[in-house]
Structure 1
């Protein structure tokens, strides 16, 4: 049996011929993505039989796709590979008319027109952001949307701007995928029906997502609809009456073209691919390469095929999968499926009759015989269904598919190939550099677009030899700035203070690109130039494009006098270009300091301004005048008041899981999104380390790596791989990395590395303080930093969980899991590496290790138990052996006190934290069919038990399958928050945040545990969720588009809510799988 099987599929979608006549473009053009608004990928016009390469267009930069690759696999779903669902911008998809090829660039932010005959550039038009979708060509006009939030209409022949419309409701900008873009980027392209232009904007429903229809002739909005919880992504499709909107990783939906009425959602495996025919809508490819076909009117599911994409014409349908191309006879398939449906109905009737207890033996025998005959008929019909496959051709061309004339053209990692549509025979092929993601049939040319952004044109050999390939312009060919600009003292200051800094510079009042060109040579900052005149902004963009700077390196924007629109706290450097020409006019208003990045960002003020007096007028209290130079006063921002940090896996060395950040609560607005994606991360179910954040940097633990990003912009600062870094099952272990004010300490195998915070370079390596022979059977366990000392623990080799498999997930989500144990503690001088002290113990629980300013606390076995072979110990075994609660002097390692810890009922987890001169132990146990928790408070000076509380978990049942046995507590102010309740730390009495009687955390969806700022709790409840502690209000979502990990990855730190990607391996239906951050709506 061939791998593509259609057995038992009941289809009504075959009743009409495909390739609908509505909304078809001119036959000799390819005016939009996949030819038409149905995205059919079909043209009746054949291409030359013997194609040869005519020309190659090399863009100035390769595509900058919005979303990274998904996880390599999903252990829980037993998927060895996971399909990327959102791939609409992996290449520059071309469109064309009889004379020209048009495409938009996600890297240089321009729309380009090329000669169809030669591939030479005819014109380019610069926009304010990445262009991720192919333009739409109609009646000599080219429509395109940019991530700057605008819809552009250009005259196709010369590239002249006819009109532009800001689709976004406000000019607000955010940082997306490392670029400054609209807070409402259009991510579905446009669908143009004569004068009606259909579009959507926005990715985050919490910020607002919208669909709209624009009358391009009248220049006004016909209708606009807010989309509630929908996140549109992927090329729009349209019939005359219905607009079909993909939503990236989730299910598409439909709106009425006339007024935007919401018509409903479709069943789908998820994905940005879609194809519309008169009788069905096909969507996919899901996680495994699967197309779901639904009725375009009723939205009823019709069929499901193992394929990535398809094209169809007449009675024939062609399916493309990772390994095959397959053709299906649809008319015959229709008759057989109708018969199979009748047989299936008869089978259901017979089954009901056989279940009738009143049947006589004779009647039962008669119906059983009828059942046997019916099963045989079903089997025969199913085999005939399989014969409906016209042909089945092995093929690795799996990433693009069109039909031109009687040939299929398929693209993939091997290049491009042509197949005869009637026989399936491969009749032509050409290897290309990079994977082919886009195809278009131009008059007498096949256009091929690859992942490098190259467009290759294949034509008739009779047209002559291939034209020379174009070469992008280089900045050296552009006019050089005049000497007064090149010799300005700013450049020496820049090289001294910011030469290696990553981030953005904001240059206000920019008249031309001279300053920007020189600045690009002296620093690595990305440049944002602004001006108050729209014509001047257009000129800046054009000049930046000519200097090959537009896009990733530099952008130009219209400057609003009240500065609204620019993201706050985002710029490492802010100054006015007037510093170069008229310093008196270079004075900046005091509120502009809000746009300077905390923790080191600079503002250059006019030297004619009294900088100290000017600072007094600013609402920013963390800035100070660093220096007064001839050309400017340099003002630098520091740590914003009330911001917190997350330096250890549970916030600090005391394990409080509270950052003490006083600014991050429930009222949040998007700051940035993008950056590290799931392919670099550990599978979420395995619960690796939480991220860390301090002083404007976010450190994300990945698969044997750490990725450092700017907390305020999401820009990657550095990443470094470490063999032996990744650990799993952290609820049963401790942290193996932490932050000090000057270094990131990372344990790997038998040593601990001190890394530079700015670039990740190795500053020092610390080794276990044991002999070479002893170290062979040991590994570095716990890592902590406190009061100028580096602390570590030694544990048996293999004690830390490192395996990554489905079985490991099953084991970790079971009951009474053994906890990782160490047997030696030590302290080192972080500068010299000298050993300060070390002390041997009977096995102690890593999850109990907690630090105060001058003491270390731990729970250890009273005698030497027989550990499991991997150096772990169950809590039941601990209580049987006997346990001690111990306090050490952190300076010298001396035991200050040791108290017998009576056997506690805890059997699944044990966490210990220090707060307000008290020790708190929280853990879980079973009572009947309920998971319960015990919370115990001890005096940290003596170990005396002060109070205890016992309470049920907020999730019913036992078994640990959703992490209900390992909820880590939060210590915030005078409260211990142990899910689902809050208690007074002094007395153990129940507390009621916001004065709300019977306050508790409701039962929530998903695993994971709590993190807190002073204002709010943050946790997973399907989506990222917060619970305001000041008002005591019910939980509310931070966003509706992403899914947190299964431990902690919601960090309220640096005045932001940081949510680095931690859903790797999750294949559920949610729109965005990426990192992001939110700031308090009030700004700084």
Structure 2
């Protein structure tokens, strides 16, 4: 059966001009503008049918959707005028944006009549939005001004925006703000003020930092007055928000605030009410600070309550007359995702215990100062990573590595490179960015270069080195290099050798010295490099491109060897080797085949076992000796390597120690999508057309409808969140919700998700 879901870019689906996301819907009629013409479409008589389309040498029969016109289309704009950015219907009129004007269209009153242009009002800027109410038309312009039109001519009233720039003062509020910022140690992020008093502290925090401040107070008069003051200063809705409500009972998202201040008059209520645990939940991990000032007896009650409430990772301390409650370090039970394959061992498995079903959206969106948005890469790019409460994601087209606050979506910093051939590994104390013939270690908080590691490589005659991959362990940095790596941003680069490594370099993290360099006989596939137990494991084999060339000349043998080496991390000396003969098949025609079927390695730190494979075969080797433990057909990489078991890409579970299959049925099936499954303690993340997560205990699936992950699976379970940077823009899989977001475990969400799971 055909799937009639939404429009895709390969074949046209919508054959009804004027019907789009900008259309105005009234009952069964859709009004819309296309190419200067206004249309009205009867949605009750919409039809879907198949049509014939040619693409290359193939013939397809995709679906098309259309709806008949209610009346003959009306010309309202010239061909070079921008139309339909905003449009509304009020009564029997349509108001339509056309360039820097509003066109008024009178709709027909009876059968057989047609619409007529009733007028056009020129404006100084393009309309951004409109509403009709109280007999008037209100138009918000793109430059921020608001214009109101009435029914009758009248003297135009002009209201100039008040100017009330905030400046810091050296009064008690200013001194208190300076003291708070000194104790806080950061000047950016979100701050909450529970109770606003006279509003002076909030204003001083805004003047003396780049904090975004959210305040709550139960006095509506104070709330309105402070809103007006901040609006006059141009800060309201930009860096400040003020809400009316009970400050101690207001529901904020978890992990939002780097800083929370409670008005002294509310400290006693906080000591007597069961609000402390909820307010503490609002603090951001890795140093969020609750700042309390008030009567000593009340603060002592709060200190005792903080101890008895068992606030996870809480540090309670006195700072003179101030009680500080700090949320220190990561969320207990969370974990990092530091490499393309989660870790240097290539487990594709996060040990995060907090990410579990059901999940709810914590934040979403992309913009100049938040989120992450990149053009699709067909698996050519680098999967995002999460460590220390931050996302790290690389845009290979712009050649920019970005850091984003995992808990709020704030853009923290950007690091520009001079090449698209970049690989990185993210650790809480340093981001290792390999490019050219060097590796820069960046400060995770600021993006500043802390250290540069230089690599010395034998010069390939007439060729240039480029970074293909990286592994970082506690003591070493391993960088894999390719020669003349293919340019471009699509899958052809993969089949042309993007993942083939011709050199492997080891660097001592502490001294920065290069320890050794090793050159394979053929090449190392980047998926066949793993590190652990003081060793680095690599497989040397012929590349798909080489096999393809031999096949074209009729020289391809029936089998070829893949030689796996265990190398001493510090010396580069061989500890053992294992040789496997594999039947030769041609992978070079498909990047998906290269990813799934080429040589691979994964290391189990729990069992000290190395798993190697190619095609559907998998072999377990003792990491200390290289002795073969078992061999089976459990390949289909990347495998999700858990503590006791592993899961392959067909959803089958196997014992790491014996290779035995552990269930009669697979955990999941993958349909409609080109990426791969990854996992965490409680969930597996797959592509079933939409992004989907599966509870490994109940085997219940939850579909994130109309969202998709990247061709390199961009769903990352880490730091207590499901992190989803937007890697989908521009793909032929044209899913309509294209945004970055983060999700967290919220039991109540199970009721909402009932219709989106099975």
Q: TM-score, normalised by structure 1?
A: 0.56
Corresponding residue of 2:381: 688
1:844 aligns with 2:524: yes
Secondary structure of the corresponding residue to residue 1044 of structure 1? coil
Indicate if the aligned counterparts of 2:256 and 2:282 stay in contact, CA closer than 8 A: yes
How far apart are 1:791 and its partner, in Å? 1.7
Corresponding residue of 1:856: 536
Corresponding residue of 2:610: 919
Corresponding residue of 1:139: none
- What's the CA shift string for 1:468-495, capped at 9, x where partnerless? 7834523349xx879222222x523414
Corresponding residue of 1:274: 23
Indicate if the aligned counterparts of 2:373 and 2:726 stay in contact, CA closer than 8 A: no
Indicate if the aligned counterparts of 1:624 and 1:636 stay in contact, CA closer than 8 A: yes
Q: Distance in 1 between matches of 2:390 and 2:565?
A: 35
Distance 1:900-1:527 versus aligned 2 partners, 3 A rule: same
Match of 1:826 among 505, 516, 519: 505
Secondary structure of the corresponding residue to residue 693 of structure 2? strand
Indicate if the aligned counterparts of 1:596 and 1:637 stay in contact, CA closer than 8 A: no
Q: Distance in 1 between matches of 2:513 and 2:328?
A: 35
How far apart are 1:558 and its partner, in Å? 4.2
Alignment of 1:737-816 (within 5 A): 737-770=424-457, 777-799=464-486, 802-804=487-489, 808=491
- What's the CA shift string for 1:182-217, capped at 9, x where partnerless? xxxxxxxxxxxxxxxxxxxxxxxxxxxxxxxxxxxx
Alignment of 1:863-882 (within 5 A): 867=546, 882=561
Indicate if the aligned counterparts of 2:547 and 2:556 stay in contact, CA closer than 8 A: no
Indicate if the aligned counterparts of 1:710 and 1:717 stay in contact, CA closer than 8 A: yes
Indicate if the aligned counterparts of 1:678 and 1:1062 stay in contact, CA closer than 8 A: no
Match of 2:638 among 968, 973, 988: 968
Match of 2:656 among 976, 980, 985: 985
1:604 aligns with 2:291: yes
| Higher mean displacement: 752-761 or 850-859 | 752-761
Distance 1:1000-1:820 versus aligned 2 partners, 3 A rule: same
Corresponding residue of 1:141: none
1:713 aligns with 2:398: no
Indicate if the aligned counterparts of 1:401 and 1:408 stay in contact, CA closer than 8 A: no
Distance 1:290-1:656 versus aligned 2 partners, 3 A rule: farther
Indicate if the aligned counterparts of 1:586 and 1:605 stay in contact, CA closer than 8 A: no
Indicate if the aligned counterparts of 1:294 and 1:300 stay in contact, CA closer than 8 A: no
- What's the CA shift string for 1:763-817, capped at 9, x where partnerless? 3333431378879611122222101322212210225xx4136xx46x86xxx88
Alignment of 1:9-88 (within 5 A): 77=10
How far apart are 1:861 and its partner, in Å? 3.5
Alignment of 1:526-605 (within 5 A): 526-533=212-219, 537-560=223-246, 563=249, 565-578=251-264, 587=271, 589-591=275-277, 592-605=279-292
Q: Distance in 2 between matches of 1:999 and 1:796?
A: 40
Indicate if the aligned counterparts of 1:913 and 1:921 stay in contact, CA closer than 8 A: yes
Secondary structure of the corresponding residue to residue 545 of structure 1? helix
1:521 aligns with 2:210: no
Indicate if the aligned counterparts of 1:584 and 1:606 stay in contact, CA closer than 8 A: no
| Higher mean displacement: 882-891 or 599-608 | 599-608
Corresponding residue of 1:354: none
Q: Distance in 2 between matches of 1:879 and 1:708?
A: 48
Distance 1:269-1:299 versus aligned 2 partners, 3 A rule: same
How far apart are 1:637 and its partner, in Å? 2.3
Corresponding residue of 2:188: 501
Distance 1:448-1:597 versus aligned 2 partners, 3 A rule: closer
1:645 aligns with 2:332: no
Match of 1:890 among 569, 576, 582: 569
Q: Distance in 1 between matches of 2:623 and 2:291?
A: 50
Alignment of 1:450-489 (within 5 A): 450-455=141-146, 470-476=160-166, 483-488=171-176
Q: Distance in 2 between matches of 1:978 and 1:972?
A: 11
How far apart are 1:618 and its partner, in Å? 2.5
- What's the CA shift string for 1:606-651, capped at 9, x where partnerless? 4733476443222432122355333333534222211011000111
Corresponding residue of 2:110: none
Q: How many residues align?
A: 688
Q: Distance in 1 between matches of 2:566 and 2:231?
A: 65
Corresponding residue of 1:1036: 702
Q: Distance in 1 between matches of 2:667 and 2:711?
A: 21
Structure 1 residue ranges without an equivalent (≥5): 1-72, 80-249, 252-265, 305-311, 326-392, 728-735, 925-932, 953-965
Secondary structure of the corresponding residue to residue 746 of structure 1? strand
Corresponding residue of 2:315: 624
1:656 aligns with 2:347: yes
How far apart are 1:272 and its partner, in Å? 2.7
Q: Distance in 2 between matches of 1:1006 and 1:417?
A: 44
Q: Distance in 1 between matches of 2:377 and 2:311?
A: 39
1:1006 aligns with 2:673: yes
Secondary structure of the corresponding residue to residue 23 of structure 2? strand
Secondary structure of the corresponding residue to residue 685 of structure 1? coil
Distance 1:626-1:562 versus aligned 2 partners, 3 A rule: closer
How far apart are 1:559 and its partner, in Å? 4.5
RMSD of aligned Cα (Å): 4.8
Give the greater-gyration-radius structure (CA). 1
Distance 1:463-1:649 versus aligned 2 partners, 3 A rule: same
Indicate if the aligned counterparts of 2:455 and 2:505 stay in contact, CA closer than 8 A: no
Distance 1:470-1:636 versus aligned 2 partners, 3 A rule: same
How far apart are 1:669 and its partner, in Å? 2.3
Match of 1:398 among 71, 83, 93: 83
How far apart are 1:1021 and its partner, in Å? 1.6
Q: Distance in 2 between matches of 1:442 and 1:778?
A: 66
Q: Distance in 2 between matches of 1:519 and 1:738?
A: 36
Indicate if the aligned counterparts of 2:23 and 2:31 stay in contact, CA closer than 8 A: yes
1:1026 aligns with 2:717: no
Corresponding residue of 2:42: 295
Q: Distance in 2 between matches of 1:818 and 1:879?
A: 22
How far apart are 1:593 and its partner, in Å? 1.6
- What's the CA shift string for 1:98-124, capped at 9, x where partnerless? xxxxxxxxxxxxxxxxxxxxxxxxxxx
Q: Distance in 1 between matches of 2:700 and 2:602?
A: 27
- What's the CA shift string for 1:670-716, capped at 9, x where partnerless? 21111359994131534522110011111123232222211111122
Match of 1:317 among 67, 73, 83: 73
Q: Distance in 2 between matches of 1:284 and 1:845?
A: 52
Distance 1:853-1:294 versus aligned 2 partners, 3 A rule: farther
Structure 2 residue ranges without an equivalent (≥5): 1-6, 52-68, 107-113, 588-592, 749-758
Distance 1:1027-1:516 versus aligned 2 partners, 3 A rule: same
Match of 1:943 among 607, 611, 626: 626
- What's the CA shift string for 1:134-178, capped at 9, x where partnerless? xxxxxxxxxxxxxxxxxxxxxxxxxxxxxxxxxxxxxxxxxxxxx
Match of 1:1081 among 739, 746, 750: 746
Higher relative contact order (CA 8 A, sep 6+): 1
Indicate if the aligned counterparts of 1:684 and 1:1064 stay in contact, CA closer than 8 A: no
Alignment of 1:73-222 (within 5 A): 77=10
Distance 1:444-1:294 versus aligned 2 partners, 3 A rule: closer
Distance 1:557-1:445 versus aligned 2 partners, 3 A rule: closer
Distance 1:667-1:417 versus aligned 2 partners, 3 A rule: closer
How far apart are 1:890 and its partner, in Å? 1.0
Q: Distance in 2 between matches of 1:999 and 1:691?
A: 28
Corresponding residue of 1:243: none
Q: Distance in 1 between matches of 2:133 and 2:220?
A: 36
